Amino acid sequence: TSVHWHGILVPFPMDGVPGVNFRGIKPGETHHYKFKLKQAGTFWYHS
């Protein structure tokens, strides 16, 4: 699984598209997303 962001400008590897730019998070694993926010607003995400 992963977290995919909508409307937030994030570095390509942080965009959370398994198999494209991210290997995904396996059951039992953890992952810390770390990036600086570049804009204000209301955005959404999903896994």
Alpha carbon distance 37, 45 (integer Å): 14
Percent residues over pLDDT 90 in the chain: 19
pLDDT bucket at 29, cuts 50 / 70 / 90: very high
Q: What is the pLDDT of residue 40?
A: 92
Whole-structure pTM value: 0.65
Residue 16: how many CB atoms within 10 A of its CB? 21
Indicate which CATH number applies to the domain containing 43.
2.60.40.420
Give me Rg for the CA atoms of the chain. 11
Count of domains observed in the chain = 1
Could you tell me if 42 and 36 are in contact, meaning their C-beta atoms sit under 8 angstroms apart? no
- Report whether pLDDT(18) > 80: no
- Which residue range is the domain that position 44 belongs to? 1-47
